[in-house]
Amino acid sequence: MRSFRLVNGLFLGLIAAFVLGCSTPKLAYNDFAQDEILVAAHRGYHVHVPENSIACIDEAIVNGIDIVEIDIRISADGIPVLMHDSKVDRTTNSKGELSSFTLAQLKAMRLLHKGQETEHTVPTLAEALTFGKNKVLFDLDIKTEQIEKIIKVIEETKTGNSVFFFDSDWEVLDKVYALHPEWKIMPRAYDDKMAKDAYERYKPWAVHVDPSFASPELADYLHDRNCHVWINALGDVDRDLAKKKYGSFEKLLLTKSNIIQTDWPVLVNELTEKVSN
């Protein structure tokens, strides 16, 4: 069984009632229990390699991270690729709008890590899903309205059981459900009522909540209905974690949200170390 304590011992017993499932590798949604806290690597585990690269997916898999969040945009010739920004300036050795480049042109670029050019190239969604298939779950952060192109890739790679769709635009999620009601989605909510409305509308696998309104009561409401609760440690919490300050992370855990997205997924795994009963 898995329970939570900070490595330095400060957190023992804080959420002792939040006992988690076994540590067997998880490869599909149904492998995860509602009372198990999962860790999601924001843009992949990119501490040592470029974000949204095959390498950062590999790093997450090697380090036992449950979920890899990737950002999806569409090239000029209609190919879904991984990139967070609308421009390639920050993450590659080129400049311009991603949507103005063909896949061949994107592949000729080199990804940057901490401003330095690397050997890594912009991956297609198909390459990413094929690489991580049956090894990790993917959170698809959709940054395009051309959802049909993304759906086609998932159909072709047969990875519908290891992806879920995130979007704050519920109309995009409606399109996914219309074609594949068996696939999983994660709508974003901006308050308590919206989170409950998201559940009633979709009966989703997870709902994305914000720390501003997350609460144990809301988490209980969703968990009781077989729905996971996603929360971000991005920003202040991650900055504190990088400095080995754990107070804000403890407060985040007290919301009972059970998927935590972070830029420090290995550290979060260490802070929520597995212990055998």
**DSSP class per residue in 154-209:** HHHHT-GGGEEEEES-HHHHHHHHHH-TTSEEEEB-SSHHHHHHHHHHH--SEEE-
Residue 96 lies in a domain: yes
pLDDT, position 5: 43
Residue 276 within a domain: no
Domain membership flag for residue 22: no
Number of H helices, E strands in the chain: 10, 11
Distance (Å, whole) CA 69 – CA 265: 11
| Domain presence at residue 50 | yes
Which positions are catalytic? 42, 84
Q: Does residue 141 form part of some domain?
A: yes
Q: What is the per-residue pLDDT for 10?
A: 43
Choice among 13-22, 193-202, 217-226 with the minimum mean pLDDT: 13-22
Spatial contact of 98 and 83, defined as CB atoms under 8 Å apart = yes
The residues, any chain, with a CB within 8 Å of residue 101's CB and separated by 6 or more, are 75, 76, 88, 94
Q: How far apart are CA 55 and CA 25, in angstroms?
A: 20
- 116 within a domain of the structure (yes/no): yes
- This model's pTM is above 0.85: yes
Domain with 195 in it:
29-271
Strands 116-117 and 112-113: antiparallel
CATH number at 235 reads: 3.20.20.190
- pLDDT tens for 213-257 read 999 999 999 999 999 999 999 999 999 999 999 999 999 999 999
Number of domains in the chain: 1
pLDDT, average across residues 190-197: 97
User: Does 5 fall in a domain?
Assistant: no
Q: What is the pLDDT of residue 6?
A: 45
Cα end-to-end distance, the chain, whole Å: 6
Higher pLDDT, residue 277 or 242: 242
- Count Cα atoms within 13 angstroms, Cβ side, for 221: 18
Q: How confident is the model at residue 122 (pLDDT cuts 50, 70, 90)?
A: very high
Q: What is the overall mean pLDDT for the chain?
A: 88
| % residues pLDDT > 90 (the chain) | 82
- Asked whether residue 100 is assigned to any structural domain, the reply reads yes
